[in-house]
Copies of this chain bind each other. A is one copy, B any other.
Amino acid sequence: MTPKRELIKGSSSSLLLCLIEQQPMYGYQIIKEMESRSQGYFNFKEGTLYPALHRLEKAGLITGQWQMLPNGRPRRYYYITTRGEAKIAAERVQWQDFLTAIRLIIKPAST
């Protein structure tokens, strides 16, 4: 079950948006959540995740807010924005189109 790097590449930002839409999360939590939900399949590295979050924030699809824990340590929680929600909707369509196109290649319609 070697996760295919290149498959993940095309969908990681969409997955992040989906997760954060369901519930505001911070980076470290996202890594753990991805891993546990996918039963170990996704294993995002920090070097992948943090830059990705920064890109999403820069694009205005999520917004991060520092929150202090009782013990004084800060965490950066990310929230979905209106634009992020729109993006998710658009990507859902893209995914469908993509899957449809793939199917047409593997099982060509009788011409």
A residues with CB within 8 A of B: 1-4, 6-11, 15, 18-19, 22, 34, 37-39, 41-42, 91, 94-95, 97-98, 100-102, 104-106, 108-109
Contacts and interface: CB of A to CB of B under 8 A. Distances in A.
Given A6-B9, A6-B10, A42-B101, 12 more contacts: A1-B97, A3-B98, A4-B94, A6-B11, A7-B94, A7-B95, A8-B98, A15-B102, A18-B106, A22-B108, A41-B100, A41-B104
Contact of A18 (B34, B41, B105): B105
B10 A9 contact: yes
B104 A37 contact: yes
B7 A39 contact: no
